[in-house]
Amino acid sequence: MTFCLKWCMDSVCKHSNSRYAAFMELWNNKSGTFFVKKTSICLGMENTPTIPYDKESSDYDHEDNKSWISQFCSKSENSYFVEVDTDFITDAFNLYGINSEFHLYRQALNLILDRQNFEGMDSDIDDDELQANAECIYGMIHARYILTAQGLDAMLQKFKECTFGTCPRVYCNNYNLLPIGLSDKPGNGCVKLFCPCCKDVYHPPLDYSHIDGAFFGTTFPHIFLLAYPEYITNAKKLFQPKIYGYKIHESR
């Protein structure tokens, strides 16, 4: 063991132009295992400065390398969204009718697709306004994407992970919820949560009340349950109002 280590170190030093020597100390503990205590090998890199690792800077670089879509969906307040495939976005057929609703449509779409220095980009455009347009356009595209086979599969994973929460109704036994919009046009209310068990609709947590219901649409939960009928269920028990143990007649 000692011979092999010494031979390897000698071989490395002989074939390097380093002015440094390789130092190694070996000692044997009671179990007979050899340990490398100290090693300093420089392969012609004695003039190379040491660059300290900056975790915070590294995190920012990692964030900058993310696509716009990945950055948007990775935010905790946007966890209801799935990442729309760029091939779906670049197909003009899938975007029919959306462009008429936004005056910065082309610029926002290029931002979503990470197209840098694209034609028609005006330096006078307010960044916040452009970002707001991009988020709204992405939401409208998202509502269409989640009705496709690929989109439904992505939403299924979130459903299984209980991303949308569980039904607050006692007799639904914490059945997983699905997002739904009460309108297909933006600006008509925030996203709601549909229970496949009791078929009722609930308000989302406050953290998600900023999400427009049109970004999921009125159709999604019903298409989802048609695609995955194994998740269709009915409330097995209904609450029966009583007064002093006597059931109240339905006419009352």
Tokens 């005056």 -> residue: 103
pTM: predicted TM-score of the whole model, two decimal places: 0.71
Q: Which helix (H) or strand (E) holds 8?
A: helix 2-14
- From the list 160, 188, 189, 190, the residue with the least C-alpha distance to 178 is 160
Query: Does the structure show a pLDDT above 60 at 131?
Result: yes
Instruction: Average the pLDDT over 26-49 and give the result.
Output: 40
Count of CA atoms in the C-beta half-sphere (13 A) of 29: 6
Q: How many CB atoms lie within 10 A of CB 99?
A: 14
Q: What pLDDT does 123 receive?
A: 64
In angstroms, rounded to a whole number, what is the distance separating the alpha carbons of residues 216 and 152? 12
In angstroms, rounded to a whole number, what is the distance separating the alpha carbons of residues 3 and 185? 77
- From the list 161, 227, 228, 159, the residue with the least C-alpha distance to 195 is 159
For CA atoms 238, 244, 247, 249, the dihedral sign is negative
Please tell us whether the domain made up of 68-231 is placed in CATH 2.130.10.10: no
Per domain, the residue ranges of the chain are 68-231
In angstroms, rounded to a whole number, what is the distance separating the alpha carbons of residues 27 and 148? 65
Q: How many CB atoms lie within 10 A of CB 40?
A: 10
Tell me which of 11 and 209 has the higher pLDDT. Answer: 209
Query: Does the structure show a pLDDT above 90 at 150?
Result: yes
Token digits of residue 168: 């607050």
- 112 to 23, 40, 58, 135, 200: CA distances (angstroms): 54, 49, 24, 8, 34
3-state secondary structure of 160: helix
Indicate the pairing of strand 34-36 with strand 178-180: unpaired
- From the list 60, 42, 58, 61, the residue with the least C-alpha distance to 50 is 42
Tell me which of 65 and 187 has the higher pLDDT. Answer: 187
Q: What pLDDT does 6 receive?
A: 46
Q: Give 76-85 pLDDT, tens digit per residue.
A: 999 999 999 9
Are the C-beta atoms of residues 193 and 182 closer than 8 Å to each other?
no
